[in-house]
Amino acid sequence: MSSTLTMPATQLLSPEEKKRKSYRRLIFLTWFLTLDLIMFGAFVRLTDSGLGCPDWPGCYGMVTPIGALADIRAAEQAMPDGPVTIPKAWIEMIHRYAGALLGLMMIGFTVMAWRSRNIIGRTPWLPTFTLLAVCVQGAFGAWTVTLKLMPIIVTIHLLGGMALMALMTWLAAREKQHTPINPANKRYSPWVGFGLVLLFMQVGLGGWVSTNYAALACMDFPTCNGAWIPKMDLVNGFSLVRGLGELPSGEAISQSALVGIHWVHRNFAWVIFAYLGTLAWRLRSDPGLRGPCHLIFALLFAQLITGLTAIFFQWPLLVSVLHIAGAAGLTIAVVTLLVRVYGIRPAKVSQAENLQFA
């Protein structure tokens, strides 16, 4: 009996349990890197580093900015206030390196999902779809550079990152044990799904604000430039196919168009607050749903604080990154809630695996 108690936890696991454990660890590690990459992508955008290397996938044809120093310095001398500098080149390339690592990790767990599907006990199609999604996301990353930060492409790239976060959260949430929920609450799954749709709409509006540099179009709150309904040009503000800072005609985008972009994002936030807040309040009494519901409450409050701070302090970098992180956190919370309400079967974990994770 004593020899069993002193045996290392890894020796208590069967080969099948070790494979399941390795798969789960890779899923959770990839989930964490996805969240980090979303936040770093916001940092790239907010430091205007998206064109730090104006070609793709390398930097002036080189694997690292070290080999492109001469080209970078020449571009910086020709346009000192332009988008190409050595720090911005490194920021952009580190983002690309992290994206490549994320793709490799997704290849890894997809291969494991197919090879060990009987042991893991899950269909491999969700990991496969996630791998395809990251390939599409990589393509939009390339187009973001080659199309010179075209607003619609940058916004879709942000939405793609949040979609990857949702898929990885789905994969991770079904591998985690949780308290069983009240079966009567499963009827709320369409309502939670609709809440996720609304959240993605708000993320898209936030991306549209950021990529059009409309964050400071309204400098007061709760009014916008002293009016509840300010003068704004919604038609041109939400014209989708156009270059950065331009109208479809090629003219510079007007201030009234930027005000319209900001005003719509700001006011749609109240829809998100009301809907997700009410939904979380209704489901919070279920022990199996209490965790994600409380997280939704906390993140809604945090989003309000960071949004107001960004306005009153003129969009400081840290606050802006935290605002994007809050949107990713809400995505995680709502998807986790959806997985539990929908009734996805949690992974079976043996006693030996529980001992090792403890």
Residues annotated as part of the active site: 92
Give the CA-trace dihedral at 349, 351, 355, 358, to 10 degrees: 50
- H/E/C letters for each residue in the chain? CHHHHHCCHHHHCCHHHHHHHHHHHHHHHHHHHHHHHHHHHHHHHHCCCCCCCCCCCCECCECCHHHHHHHHHHHHHHCCCCCCCHHHHHHHHHHHHHHHHHHHHHHHHHHHHHHCHHHHCCCCHHHHHHHHHHHHHHHHHHHHHHCCCCHHHHHHHHHHHHHHHHHHHHHHHCCCCCCCCCHHHHHHHHHHHHHHHHHHHHHHHHHHHHHCCCCCCCCCCCCECCECCCCCCHHHHCCCCCCCCECCCCCECCHHHHHHHHHHHHHHHHHHHHHHHHHHHHHCCCCCCHHHHHHHHHHHHHHHHHHHHHHHCCCCHHHHHHHHHHHHHHHHHHHHHHHHHHCCCCCCCCHHHHHHHC
Q: Identify the CA nearest to 46 among candidates 149, 139, 119.
A: 149
Contacts (Cβ under 8 Å, ≥6 apart) of 97: none
